[in-house]
């Protein structure tokens, strides 16, 4: 009999424990109170800071560039700081064919000089003869032996011979210059008188001065080398004259307009205030890291407080731009974490007398944190945040401790 009573007592205890374990308990939830606040609708994306006016300094002529002494970050002054010095390059080597042609040209030029000198000697002889004939004719004309016309012809002959001699001398000079040019074509690999960067007075050197004041942003090369005309040497800019360029998706860019407020964040310092200066009128196709083609529009932001606080934001630094496209004050706002979709509508659970109550909502503007409530909620009501599958309409809930 005692054993039977013991079995019954144990069975009752097990049943009571099972009933207690299975008895419905209020579900612990996180809650928030509906109130009024300001709501900002923003678009956000990565961008880069950039100097508005970047100057690329190139070699004005071909030649041998001397080693550059400037490094990125060095200060430069317009029309004073010497950026680079270029001197004539060493002549290149000649191949067999070019050398043979050059030697032949020298020989031909030398023959032309000899011919011109012979013509000059001939012209000199003709002038001497004309002068002697003039002297004889002049003596005879004084005694009336020969007519005046003969004397005038002798005088003309002297003038013609003099002119021919001058032409012959000019021909010799021209042929000698052609010979010098032909010999110059044979020069190869011979060092030119050296000039250093400090020897700016060297007549064969060209010095390149800074076109603007600012800092050196980058140097293409520092080594001495032969460069062609137009070769980029370095870039200059004023770091105080910064802007931010952001590539927004075209669907976000349509809501941005010049004058909108913006904030520059995640660049390594405190947030910076900025305003939208320009929205490009054309988009371009850009492939994302996932291989998706996107239409991107460049939006340019003007920094409002670049010069304050000794900021170290420089050229081509990565930043995150947050642009405010809409702002509203004193709006009834609900946390977005309390919302979920029910069909095509928004819905939320409120907590009333320890139970969850389902509400259908109509929302206006919204951002990642809050949504503007147009209908469905009142100020002071308590909404359930992050409602799970266990929260149902009419179910018991309790605030999580």
52-94: per-residue pLDDT in tens?
Answer: 999 999 999 999 999 999 999 999 999 999 999 999 888 878 8
Question: So what's the pLDDT on residue 276?
Answer: 96
Task: For residue 89, give the DSSP letter.
Answer: P
Residue 4 pLDDT: 75
Please choose, from the candidates 310, 393, 316, the residue with its C-alpha nearest in 3D space to the C-alpha of residue 350.
Answer: 393
Question: How buried is residue 81: exposed, middle or buried, by Cβ count under 10 Å (0-12/13-18/19+)?
Answer: middle
Cα–Cα distance, 278 to 252 (Å, whole number): 14
- d(Cα 135, Cα 277) in Å, to the nearest integer? 93
CA 46 vs CA 245, 247, 257, 273, 301: distances in Å: 9, 7, 18, 16, 12
> Nearest to residue 271, comparing CAs of 320, 336, 211, 341?
320
Tokens of 54: 């970047």
Q: Does residue 6 carry a pLDDT above 80? A: no
Give me the mean pLDDT over the 367-387 stretch. Answer: 94
pLDDT digits (tens, 9 = 90+) for 136-188: 888 777 776 778 788 788 889 889 999 999 999 999 999 999 999 999 888 88
List the beta bridge partners of residue 370.
Answer: 335
Question: Among 331, 338, 327, which Cα is nearest to 373's?
Answer: 331
Q: How far apart are CA 164 and CA 128, in angstroms?
A: 12
Q: Report the percent of the chain where pLDDT is more than 90.
A: 64
Please report, for residues 39, 140, 338, the alpha-carbon distance to residue 320 in angstroms, rounded to integers and kept in the order given: 20, 109, 28
Confidence of residue 195 (pLDDT cuts 50, 70, 90): very low
Can you spell out the DSSP letters for 221-237? --S-EEE-TT-EEEEEE
Closest CA to 237 of 201, 213, 204: 213
Q: Are strands 63-65 and 225-227 parallel, antiparallel or unpaired?
A: antiparallel
**pLDDT of 384 above 50:** yes
Q: Which of 190-204, 303-317, 322-336 has the highest mean pLDDT?
A: 322-336
Rounded-to-integer distance, Cα 308 and Cα 316, Å: 20
Per 3-state DSSP, the chain is made up of helix, strand and coil in percentages (nearest 5) of 30, 35, 35
Backbone angles phi, psi at 170, to 5 degrees: -65, -40
Mean pLDDT rounded to a whole number for the chain: 88
pTM of this structure: 0.66
- pLDDT at 268 exceeding the cut of 50: yes
- Asked whether the predicted pLDDT for residue 348 surpasses 90, the reply is yes
Q: Rounded to whole angstroms, how far apart are CA atoms 128 and 132?
A: 6
pLDDT > 80? residue 10: no
3-state class (DSSP) for residue 345? strand
């Amino acid at each position: 009999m005692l054993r039977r009573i013991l079995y019954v007592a144990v069975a009752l205890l097990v049943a009571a424990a099972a009933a207690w374990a299975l008895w419905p308990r209020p579900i612990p939830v996180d809650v928030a109170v509906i109130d009024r606040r300001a709501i900002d609708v923003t678009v956000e994306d990565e961008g880069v800071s950039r100097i508005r006016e970047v100057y690329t300094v190139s070699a004005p002529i071909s030649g041998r560039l001397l080693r550059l002494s400037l490094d990125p970050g060095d200060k430069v002054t317009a029309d004073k700081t010497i950026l680079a010095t270029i001197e004539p390059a060493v002549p290149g080597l000649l191949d067999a064919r070019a050398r043979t042609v050059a030697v032949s040209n020298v020989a031909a030029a030398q023959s032309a000089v000899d011919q011109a000198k012979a013509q000059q000697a001939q012209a000199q002889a003709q002038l001497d003869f004309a002068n002697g004939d003039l002297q004889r004719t002049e003596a005879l004309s004084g005694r009336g032996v020969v007519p005046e016309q003969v004397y005038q012809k002798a005088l003309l002959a002297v003038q013609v011979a003099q002119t021919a001699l001058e032409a012959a001398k000019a021909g010799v000079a021209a042929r000698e210059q052609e010979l010098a040019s032909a010999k110059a074509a044979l020069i190869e690999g011979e060092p030119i008188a050296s000039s250093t960067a400090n020897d700016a007075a060297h007549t064969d050197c060209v010095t390149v001065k800074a076109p603007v004041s600012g800092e050196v942003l980058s140097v293409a090369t520092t080594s001495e080398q032969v460069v062609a005309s137009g070769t980029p040497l370095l870039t200059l800019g004023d770091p105080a004259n910064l802007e931010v360029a952001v590539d927004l998706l075209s669907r976000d860019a349509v809501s941005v307009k010049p004058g909108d407020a913006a904030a520059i964040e995640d660049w390594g310092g405190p947030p910076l205030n900025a305003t939208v200066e320009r929205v490009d009128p054309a988009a371009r196709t850009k492939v994302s890291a996932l291989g998706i083609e996107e239409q991107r529009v460049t939006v340019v932001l003007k920094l409002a407080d670049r010069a304050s606080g000794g900021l170290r934001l420089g050229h081509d630094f990565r930043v995150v731009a947050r642009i405010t496209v809409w702002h509203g004050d004193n709006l009834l706002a609900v946390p977005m974490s309390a919302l979920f979709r029910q069909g095509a509508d928004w819905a939320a659970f409120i907590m009333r007398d320890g139970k969850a109550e389902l509400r259908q909502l109509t929302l206006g503007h919204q951002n990642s944190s809050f949504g503007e409530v147009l209908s469905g909620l009142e100020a002071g009501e308590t909404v359930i945040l992050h409602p799970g599958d266990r929260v149902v309409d009419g179910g018991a809930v309790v605030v999580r401790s």
